[in-house]
Structure 1
Amino acid sequence: MTTAQNDKHTHLTVREICDELGVARSTFYDWRAARKAPPCIKLPNGDLRIRRADFESWLQSLEQRV
């Protein structure tokens, strides 16, 4: 696996997160504004990325609160 392919699997786009969760993009940004979204990395071009590990930890934290 090349570095570019490896990065694709470890850093998710907002679209990938929304597709995986089955939520609208606006919902993700609402969560982000309310500080309820997984930690994001803001790239110099303004795009956001979410580390796969951070996303998985965030999902686990939601399970524990229920």
Structure 2
Amino acid sequence: MARRREYLKIPALCDELGISRDTFYKWRVKGTAPLCTKLPNGELRVCRDDLEKWLDTCKEAA
């Protein structure tokens, strides 16, 4: 059975990352935010898989 993709709404994403919506949209303008899916009604969603990949790219060696 195929796994259903989970899509996060922007407020849920911001809550999970501990950031403000303003920060998220600033990241979008800079091109550094996770990949988003724009729905036909204009709302944005972030696929959990894309968020996990994006978080992996944010890791640095200490």
TM-score band by shorter chain is 0.7 to 0.9
Q: Which runs of 4+ in 1 moved over 2 A?
A: none
Unpaired stretches in structure 1, ≥5 consecutive residues? 1-5
How many percent of aligned residue pairs carry the same amino acid?
Answer: 46
Work out the number of aligned pairs and report it.
59
Unpaired stretches in structure 2, ≥5 consecutive residues? none
Which structure exhibits the higher relative contact order, with contacts defined as CA atoms closer than 8 Å and separated by 6 or more residues? 2
- What TM-score does the superposition give when structure 1 sets the normalisation length? 0.81
Which has more helix, going by share of residues? 1
- What TM-score does the superposition give when structure 2 sets the normalisation length? 0.86
- What is the Cα-based RMSD across aligned positions, in Å? 1.6
